[in-house]
Structure formats: structure tokens, C-alpha cells
Structure 1
Amino acid sequence: MKKTLILCFIHGFKGGESTFGDDYRFAEHLRDLVAAELPKINVKTLVYPKYETKGDLGETVSRFRSWLEDKVIDLEVATGTPSPTIDPSVRTILIGHSMGGIVAAEMVIAIASEQPIYSEDGIQKSAALPTSFNSLLFPYIQGVLAFDTPEGWTWVSSHLEFVGCLARAEELKKRVSYMVRLNEELRVGFANLYTRLGRAASSKNVSMVGTVLGSERTFCNLPRSQAAGVWKEAVNDKATDETVAHMTMFEPKENPDYETLSETAKTLIAEWVSKEWYETSEEPKPLLEQAPSVDS
């Protein structure tokens, strides 16, 4: 049975399907890179449709989970997988830009522990971390790749109903801690590729974000001491403003580091894919032609 890896893209605050490039350019480019790196499996892209980045975070995560479950079930049925929950032929990498990374992390935490950081009514659950995770993930999430998703932000936008979580640094750090544990215990990959201004940035041209964060000139705060998974910088030598760098990181004309960003993402994804699962992928065997009848 040939296995399938889904690259599922989730936009961030006030984004949409075009977040990942016109005509899904970045999504398709990354798919091609991963497919070339992992030729034994099918690599497909899914882009989560535009959703409201306001209202309750828990409800948003629940809708996304249901949507992805339906997509994965359709693929498993089409493949004829005998036991999708025990031995799935489909695995998924969640790829979130900005707040899309929070939605991705919340979903995989909910699948693995049934204890999201926020309940569906938006009320924070117990601060205690689960003693163990459920290893039978469905859908099976192989990794979470975040682009410019905060470990901690010190500012928020006007849509406080949805992004108010960004003002709660401890909840953001707790979410990162969950992901680190999932990586250690279930081998769920986790990384954040964050933008940093390069040569074009002027020390006098500082945006609101830059004013808050100082000389690092990144869009989001970076973890200081706690274990936080893999954080890799993506330098933009053309952008003069942190927010512009954040919004154009998937546009090759505006981000000179576009190819490096793409290659880094491809390498991380390839490293996360289980070698055992990958090696058992094989082309479906053709049905034997019916033997001609023998005249009696």
C-alpha cells in the first residue's frame, strides 16, 4: 500500500488561502520539494479555507479538526486501509502561519490528550499537564511546522475575542511545552521558522513590534530559557519593517531568503517522517488478469 503525507496549511490572523502565495505557490513549491525528497510516498497539499480569526479559539480548533478528519477519512477509504487508527496510510504535517500555528498546536494537543489549552467555550482548563498522551492519533499528525507563530507576544490586535490568548504569555509557553513533550514522547515534530530583518532594516525605522522587542527585529518574541523545540530564523534582507517581513515571507519577490526558507521546511518535514512508516510504502499491486476459461 502506498502511503500518503498531507501538508495541511492554515492561515493566520485575518489571512486567507492566498497567505501561502498566489495560486498556492509556496504550498505547491514545498510539496514538490518534499515529494522529491520522499519519492516512495504520495505527497498532497490541503489548504484550510478562510476562517474568521475572531470569536472563540476552541470552536475554531474544533471546526478545523472535523474538517481535517473528513479529508483523511476520505483518503483512507479510497486507499482501502484496513485499520486507519492502528496503522494509518495517511499522515499529516500541519503548517501554520502566525496564529495558524496556534490552531495547529491546539488541535494536535487535543487529539493526543483530549485536554486542549482552551475548552470549546474558551475557558482555560486545569493548569496540570497530562500524565500521558494517547499514541493512537487520528488523524495521525506527524509534525507541526509553524511560521512566525509566537511563543509570546506582548501586543494584540483589535480582535481580542480570538487573539486574546496572545496576551497570556503563560498559556503560550504552556502550549510550547506540550509540543516539546509530544515530540519527546510520540515523535511529533515541532519547529518554528521566524522572520528577522536583515540588511535593509534601519535602526531608526522601528515598527510597533520592533519597539517592543528591541534590537532582535523579529515579529515574535523568542523563547529564552525553557525547552521550546526547534526555532530557526529566516532573515529577510529586503524588508524594512517586521510586519512586512512577516506578511511577505512566502513571496519570492519580497523575500530574498525564500528558497532557503523552503529548503529548511523541506528538510524538517523529511526528518520528521517515520522511517519505518515510509519504508513500508509500496505501489499497489495490479490485479491479476482473469485466466481465460478452458473449454470443456
Structure 2
Amino acid sequence: MQERTSWRRLIGHEGTFLASLELWPAERTGRSRHLQSGYRAGWSLPEAGADPAIHEGPVDLVGVRSLAPGTAGTVLIHPMWPEAWQGIDAGARLALVARTRHPRIIGEATVLERRGVPASAPLRVEPFEETPAHARLRAVEEQPAPRGHTPPAVAVGGVALPLLSSTWGGARVTTGPSSPDEEAALAASLPRLVLDRSRPVAVTVAGGEVPVMAEIAYFAELGPSGIPTGERRDVLWDSRELTHQVDRARASWRVGVPPPGSARAVVVTLTFGPGSPGQSFDVASWGFRLD
């Protein structure tokens, strides 16, 4: 088990963009959360033209741990798919977009320097290392059903977890809160679970397909509206680690995520490989609170 921000081992290159970032004030965006280092940001690029696609570029903050709405700072942008960033260089202005059901701009960045970003680099999806025993078992197991049009159901201790956000399917349907009121309502829907904080938490996922990556985020606090906030700790498992952790059943699989300790809320994000050739990765998040 390693504690790392989820996207780092997935990106297939080491290039970055150094940029100055200005976060718009909460009164303008409706977003009151601080931006944390490691945030998996979405960007609207000037070269996109009529294409409304949002391109992923997670950020590291330079010299600080978080930025409040209405403040500015320096960031390193890690373009997830550099092919979309070929025309971006010093002086380019980028719009930071909140990845919600109705994406909205929450800030603007000016690129200061392009640092070794390649023209192309595939994601580092680690292959499944199948042992002879796994091969024999697979030969007699039923093949998993094709991936559904919506994310799978996820539960902890028999309690269904609400879907917080997702980008899913060939049509790239994105779900998530589109306003502060929706965000607060979604936070209020998080079940309050009484768990042994010193023991792993068993998370059950419907379906037979195991993701290529799992990120478990532990939040230290809950805001006034119940929204997870405060210091955040991330645990990342890639496909190799998941293979050793997963307990399979016929119609589901289960994994014990690390003990929550003093965390007030937990968010589980699963990334599944492309459902068919030419499609993108599917990503979805679920969460719960702790009493």
C-alpha cells in the first residue's frame, strides 16, 4: 500500500506547465472549497475551438498547501493527455473548470513556462500479472458482464453509498453537483457510518470488473454544510495492488480500504479501463461520513 495522489503513476510522462493561477471569489463561482495541492483539475484550452471538451491537468501548488477562492498562486500543471496540449506554451491563458454536471469556470491561469511536455505519451496502465493459478481459475469462471451504461453500485457494511460524481460511458456522461445548494444536498446524503476506525473498511462493488486504479481520500473535517474539507490524505492502489487486495464473488468484488483513523469523511474514486477500443477511461466517486 502506498499513499500517493491518485494520478501520479497513471500519467505517462514527467512534463509540466508552470503557471500563475487566479481563483475566482466564491461570490462569483458559488464554490467555497479551497483548492488543494494534487487537485485533479480540468482545463478549457484556447486551442479547443468549438470543442467543449475539458482536458485533465492535475495541479501541484508551489510553496503552499492550498489556495482559497479569491486568491492567487503558482502551480505546476500535469497534462494527463499531452496530445491535447501541443499548442500550449508560455503566455497561454487557460480556464480552470469545476468538473460538475454543468461545468463552470472557477479560475484562470497564465502559462509561464512549458517544461518538457511531450507531444504524446500513453497512460501508464500497469498490466494484470496473471499467475498460473489465476489462469486456471479464469478458465472455469464465467466472464464478467459487459460494463453498464452507469457506474456500479457501491456499499459499505450493506449501506449503499451515493454516487458523488462520474464521467462514464461512450457518450462521456458527466454527473455531479452543479451549484453550492446541490453540493450541500449531496453532502447531506452521505450516510453516517459507525465503524472501527482502527480496522480496514470493507467496500463492496457490484459487477465482476476490477478497476485499473482506486483512490481513497480521507478528509479531516466537515464544513458547515457537511461538505468534506480540511486536510486530505490520499491512498492510491494501481491494478497490481488491487489484484492482491480484491476478494472476488460471482456478482461483485470487495476490497478492504485502509483504516480511516480520525477522518470525518471518506471518498472512494475508481478508474476503469476503456470499455471498448477508442473510448476513454471511466471514473466515478462515492463517499460516506464517519460518526
When the two structures are superposed, what TM-score results if normalisation uses the length of structure 2? 0.23
Q: Larger Cα Rg: Structure 1 or Structure 2?
A: 1
